[in-house]
Amino acid sequence: MKRLLPLLGVAALVVTLAACGGGGSNSSTTTTSSNAAVPTLNPGKLVVGFDLPAPAFWNGRASGNTIKHPTGFEHSLSLDIAKQLGISAANVQFLRAPFSTILLGGKKPYDFALEETTITPARARVISFSSSYFSANQGVLIAKGTPKPTKISDLKSLQTCAQASTTGLDWIQHKLRPAKKPHVYSASSTAAFDAVQAGTCQALILDVPIIVSQAKKKPGAYGGVVAQIDTHEGYGAVMAKNSPLKPYVSKAINTLSKNGTIGKLIFRWFGYYPYKIPVLK
């Protein structure tokens, strides 16, 4: 989103999606032999940052700085990563970390955060990213009554919108350069979705999985997820700059990608095939 924001390479992902199964936390994987050497903030424990709203990525109810009854893609993935690190699910703690704060430099109160955060060179100068665990092109969610775009130039005449500090906004401002200044919504994606529903925003540019999840959450509220823009983006786990945990998390993600666990989780929680959404050119 969020987020100058790798859906796993689409081609590789499509292969693994076919093996749709249950949650990754029940998958059989090889884990780190001992968690004593894993440099987490607290030995033997893992603190994972999250933020809401993030339908299908994080489901549950925020309660203070944690979350009650958590489920979702990134929740399941965090438990699978923990398993790879040799840390039990009982020793995983979830800590709310607003998206606007995770992009700042300095120490972090969590070992890593999973918040649909796109890997970019600019961000990587301030924070550290793991290997990509999810590929995320920008998607186009239109308001009811808005003409369906069939090419990128069709978006230029529409009233576009985006969430602040996202790759979607960056793409609008530096690539699309529409006739009308885009509406920008800060804090969370909620205001942007509300604007599309109200018709004050004709086309929201945001990560495909996020708008697909929202459209499924509120069927009939929008004109539909009509297209995607191939921006070759991917999400990575966010850590403090030069975190010693980075190679461990990246190794875990790479293993979960190769053994099909991540592909199963994507199909389970999002239930769509990226290649079926038209690409605007």
Instruction: Report how far apart, in Å, the C-alpha atoms of 59 and of each of 16, 71, 100, 161, 186 are.
Output: 23, 5, 20, 25, 21
Model confidence pLDDT, tens digit, residues 218-253? 999 999 999 999 888 889 999 999 999 999 999 999
Q: Which of 77, 1, 115, 50 is nearest to 268 (CA)?
A: 77
pLDDT band at 187 (very low <50, low <70, confident <90, very high): low
**Residue 68: other Cβ atoms inside 10 A:** 10
Query: Do residues 110 and 48 make contact, with C-beta atoms less than 8 angstroms apart?
Result: yes
* pTM for the whole structure: 0.66
Average pLDDT value over all residues in the chain: 88
Residue identified by tokens 């929008």 is: 222
Model confidence pLDDT, tens digit, residues 163-172? 998 989 999 9
pLDDT band at 6 (very low <50, low <70, confident <90, very high): very low
**Residue 125: other Cβ atoms inside 10 A:** 9
